Amino acid sequence: MSEEQGISVKQSEDFSKWYLEAVRKGGFIDQRSPIKGFDVILPWGYAIWERIQDCFDREIKEHGVQNAYFPLVIPESLIKKEEEHFKGFKAEAFAITEAGGEKLEEKLFVRPTSETIMYHMFAMWIRSYKDLPLLINQWCNVVRFDTKGTKPFLRGREFLWQEGHTAHATREDADKWLTTVVKMYNEVYKMLAIEPLILVRPKSDTFAGADYSIVFDTLVQDGKVVQGPGSHLLGQHFSKPFDIKFLDEDGKEKYVWQTSWGITTRQIGILIAHHGDDKGAVLPPEVAPVQVVIVPILFKGKEADVLEKAGSVKEQLHQLGIRARLDSREHSAGFKFNEWELKGVPLRVEIGPKDIAAGEVTAVSRVGEKTKVKMTELDEIKGLLDNIQEEMATKSRKFLADSINDVHSMDQLKAAEGGFLRGNWCSSGECEASIKAESGFEIRGTLYDKEEKCFANCLWCGKPAKHVVYIAKAY
């Protein structure tokens, strides 16, 4: 592999440059589209999104969620019904004012999120408590003009996601549903072999129009965090302006309680930035588009025999349910090794004349561990893949645990270099803003589903603290 094709910089030297090279040279994304922030997700990257989709779509359907599709554009009149919610997106929204050479009578906005258009329809669909709960999801794209700049996958102006929206008869039912959503996202994270920190956001960073927001924050290898899936209790903040009401069993008219929740293609960037190494991406077997790449080691006069045996091994792996690919291209074995390592394939199987003579193959994990496997016992490769998945998950858990440190003062916080800092906060918005302005770190939230006892006074004002919070620098 030429210098241009390989990663030219180590993570420890320039993480940002490493990341850009890993996603581009690994074949995940192409940023060379004519519009900044509107990137092309390449087949290798899109195949990972399909794996995430398959996992989560299966989970939501098992819990009664139905998929639908809603319009891409939202009329301004609908947005005015919930200005408080939309004002947070106003600076990011793309507006359409002309079509077919003529000025539109009403401005249309390209969806930055779909609450307004979906809830307009919910109001027509819901009449009785018998219509509840209403559990709807859509897989789609959204467009936001992010003013903070762009970074492939992590911060794009167009991205793919699922957005789930539900309506319930009571707040208790809505709260319970969000616990189910968190469990479903946890299943995705198991597939990704990532240990997240699940947090309840502070009020300042709660989704516009929500009572509270639950998020999955992932620590990546430069010590910063990236937000993954978010789940929000919307309460009745949308049902009232959109008049989403139902007749209860007692015959009384009531407003529904709502939730929304979503995961995006940002997850692909999180995956690479969390697991990758100096050679490129490292993909967990459960999400890898190709779990095993078979590389024939060719010698003159032996090519046909090796390729025939390699093809037989591929078919046997397919029969075992393993996503395997035979790389029979006219490149050197070394070129292929480097390219598939860059793409993050979990396991490489090498087959040469000596392997055939010995009745075995050489299996090499993405992190370099070699194992000999008898050709009559290829089912052992499933065990090797399971081991890689578990080793990656264990490494992720340790990385998170080792990266959480307690801080008792602003001096300690300012001296920190990265990771999660666990501190105490009085809940004042002024103190929250001052902590960020003074240190560059921001309060990410409190632990979800676990109350922690304060162990010091507020980091900023020194008054008695109300919350143990997790603080970090974020993308």
Say if residue 150's pLDDT is above 90.
no
pLDDT category of residue 88 using cuts at 50, 70 and 90: low
Mean pLDDT of the chain: 95
Q: What is the pLDDT of residue 82?
A: 75
Q: What is the pLDDT of residue 2?
A: 43
Average pLDDT over residues 130-148: 93
Average pLDDT over residues 167-172: 98
Q: How far apart are CA 123 and CA 115, in angstroms?
A: 12
Average pLDDT over residues 131-147: 93
Q: What is the pLDDT of residue 4?
A: 57
Q: What is the pLDDT of residue 79?
A: 87
Cis preceding-peptide flag for 284 (omega within 30 of 0): no
Say if residue 280's pLDDT is above 80.
yes
Q: What is the pLDDT of residues 429-445, one digit of tens each?
A: 999 999 999 999 999 99
pLDDT category of residue 209 using cuts at 50, 70 and 90: confident
Say if residue 300's pLDDT is above 90.
no
In this prediction the pTM is: 0.95
Q: What are phi and psi of 239, to 5 degrees?
A: -65, -30
User: Edge-to-edge strand order for the sheet containing 225-235?
Assistant: 66-67, 134-143, 158-168, 257-264, 225-235, 212-219, 197-200, 442-447, 467-472, 420-425, 404-406
Per cent of the chain over pLDDT 70 is: 98
Say if residue 3's pLDDT is above 70.
no
pLDDT category of residue 341 using cuts at 50, 70 and 90: very high
Q: Where are the alpha helices (DSSP H) in 369-424?
A: 380-402, 410-415
Q: How far apart are CA 473 and CA 440, in angstroms?
A: 7
pLDDT category of residue 27 using cuts at 50, 70 and 90: very high
Q: What is the pLDDT of residue 143?
A: 95
pLDDT category of residue 1 using cuts at 50, 70 and 90: very low
Average pLDDT over residues 39-48: 98
**Helix and strand counts by DSSP (H, E) for the chain:** 13, 23
Average pLDDT over residues 187-198: 98
DSSP symbol at 239: T
Average pLDDT over residues 264-271: 98
Domain 404-472 architecture: 2-Layer Sandwich (3.30)
Q: What is the pLDDT of residue 186?
A: 98
Query: Regarding beta strands 158-168 and 134-143, do their DSSP bridges make them parallel or antiparallel, or are they unpaired?
Result: antiparallel
Q: What is the pLDDT of residue 354?
A: 94
115-148: b (≥16 Cβ within 10 Å) or e: bbbbbbebbeebeebeebbbbbbbeeebbbeeee
DSSP symbol at 151: B
Q: What is the pLDDT of residue 388?
A: 98
Per cent of the chain over pLDDT 90 is: 91
Sequence spans of domains, the chain: 15-275, 292-384, 404-472
Q: What is the pLDDT of residues 287-298, one digit of tens each?
A: 999 999 999 998
CATH hierarchy code of domain 292-384: 3.40.50.800
Q: What is the pLDDT of residue 386?
A: 98
Q: What is the pLDDT of residues 355-384, one digit of tens each?
A: 999 999 999 999 889 999 999 999 999 999
Average pLDDT over residues 236-254: 96
CATH hierarchy code of domain 15-275: 3.30.930.10
Q: What is the pLDDT of residue 303?
A: 86
Q: How far apart are CA 280 and CA 335, in angstroms?
A: 14
Q: Give the CA dihedral 308, 310, 314, 320, nearest 10 degrees.
A: 110
pLDDT category of residue 424 using cuts at 50, 70 and 90: very high
